Amino acid sequence: MSREQRGPNEKLGAVLALAGISNAGLARRVNDLGAQRGLTLRYDKTSVARWVSKGMVPQGAAPHLIAAAIGQKLGRPVPLHEIGLADADPAPEVGLAFPRDVGQAVRSATELYRLDLAGRRAGSGGIWQSLAGSFAVSAYATPASRWLITPADSSVAREANPADGSGAPLKVGHSDVQKLREAAEDARRWDSKYGGGDWRSSMVPQCLRVEAAPLLLGSYSDDVGRSLFGAAAELTRLAGWMAFDTGQQEAAQRYYIQALRLARAAADVPLGGYVLASMSLQATYRGFGDEGVDLAQAALERNRGLATARTLSFFRLVEARAHARAGDAQAAGAALKSAESWLERSRPGDSDPTWLGFYSYDRFAADAAECYRDLKAPRQVRRFTEQALSRPTEEFVRSHGLRLVVSAVAELESGNLDAACEQGVRAVEVAGRISSARTTEYVKDLLHRLEPYGDEPRVVELRERARPLLMTTA
């Protein structure tokens, strides 16, 4: 879609002439750049002619892709104002940068915080809607490599500058940071119990915008700053996880990238590994198993000799998930064995980070079951699922629902249709109590697998029970 300006875009026409790019050539370059980001674009020479002669402004990421395409030909960056597109929505690039400079990192994070998951920038129109489908796993390459090279900044002390948008200078102390940590802990509990789409979970982006941003733009010592960046990183990662759970992959990706940059400023290597593990799980869920392996191994590499045994166990478990999605049974089995070994070495007195409180043998067994589901080994799925479901808890309702679906799939693949439907009914009941697009997708996958048995009474009953759930997410 495009909107029309007043008269021709003479700036764009002039720069195209300078670069020696034809209308058809620009259209092809923009389409190719879009494909690299996971976008399907179908611009042609007529589209470009409208941009130039009629001043039409393409929406979404297109203006930025136009600038990038011309910049590649000229061999230098091309700002939007040079091509007459300065009023284009800047949102497609917000949150994707992983700046080397701490000050720029603060600006990058706080700019992202000014967007919310409802799809609106404060004072302007739709944002996330224009980003739909823009998730690109390749966007994780630079953040991961820069974090591996330098996982900590030399100093993060800062003097507030009102010109940065912080208003009156704010002196930040440890008590301010503690409030952010308490908010993160409260949100984690609500997310696990009610899903990423629960109204309490939506308070996380607001907390980042209203509470975290002014603190990051304030004045603080290096010591307070490290703690502040760590708390902001936790809360930002959590916002990404909730976006991931509600199916907003493009928003999740941006939050994860900023969370990793903040973890680097905090000099918190285990937390940075946790963010990379979250990126890995998202990549794996989206079908990019090989990239998921790379991200999980990046999480592990920098944490050797630093993280606790339980933390290393979780990173290896995430790696196993990615290997399984990539179809590498041998590598997945080795990673699972290592994860279990590290978990057995953990002790109650270990200094495990608070954000790892969810991880126990139950969670290990649940993810192991999903690994074997992807590897089509139903016997192993059943064994680990039975262990994962042995102690259901009200604290992790979403996880319990996901485990029930995995159990149903294992029963179905083992030829136990009645047991599969029984577990499916239980899963639907749990899914109806939370707001999680991911859980609903698991239920949809189960129903798809049951289609060959569509006339069976138990399958019909399950489908009817699931109908309200599917209608609310349609």
Per-residue pLDDT at 186:
85
In sequence order, the 6+-apart residues with CB closer than 8 A to the CB of 35 are 41
Per-residue pLDDT at 85:
84
pLDDT tens-digit map of 315-362: 999 999 999 999 999 999 999 999 999 999 999 889 999 999 989 999
Burial class (CB in 10 A: 0-12, 13-18, 19+), 148: middle
The domains found in the chain, sorted by start residue, are 2-88 (1.10.260), 102-371 (1.25.40.10), 372-474 (no CATH)
Mean pLDDT of 140-150: 94
Question: Smallest Cα–Cα separation from 4: which of 83, 45, 57, 52?
Answer: 57
Using pLDDT thresholds of 50, 70 and 90, give the confidence band for residue 121.
very low
Q: Counting runs of H as helices and runs of E as strands, what totals does the chain give?
A: 21, 2
Average pLDDT, the chain: 86
pLDDT tens-digit map of 60-98: 778 878 988 898 888 777 778 889 887 665 566 788 899
Measure CA 357 to chain center: 20
Per-residue pLDDT at 72:
82
Instruction: Say if residues 443 and 431 touch (Cβ distance below 8 Å).
Output: yes
Query: Lowest-confidence range among 128-132, 272-276, 392-396?
Result: 128-132
Burial class (CB in 10 A: 0-12, 13-18, 19+), 187: buried
Question: Smallest Cα–Cα separation from 295: which of 314, 317, 311, 318?
Answer: 318
pLDDT tens-digit map of 374-407: 999 999 999 999 888 877 666 678 888 888 989 8
pTM of the model: 0.78
Through-space distance between the first and last CA atoms of the chain, rounded to whole angstroms: 24
pLDDT tens-digit map of 404-455: 989 898 899 889 999 999 999 998 988 888 778 888 888 999 999 999 998 8
In the predicted model, is pLDDT for residue 130 greater than 60? no
Query: Lowest-confidence range among 127-131, 253-257, 294-298?
Result: 127-131
Per-residue pLDDT at 1:
46
Using pLDDT thresholds of 50, 70 and 90, give the confidence band for residue 19.
very high
Mean pLDDT of 463-468: 90
Per-residue pLDDT at 123:
37
- Distance of alpha carbon 52 from alpha carbon 354, whole angstroms: 55
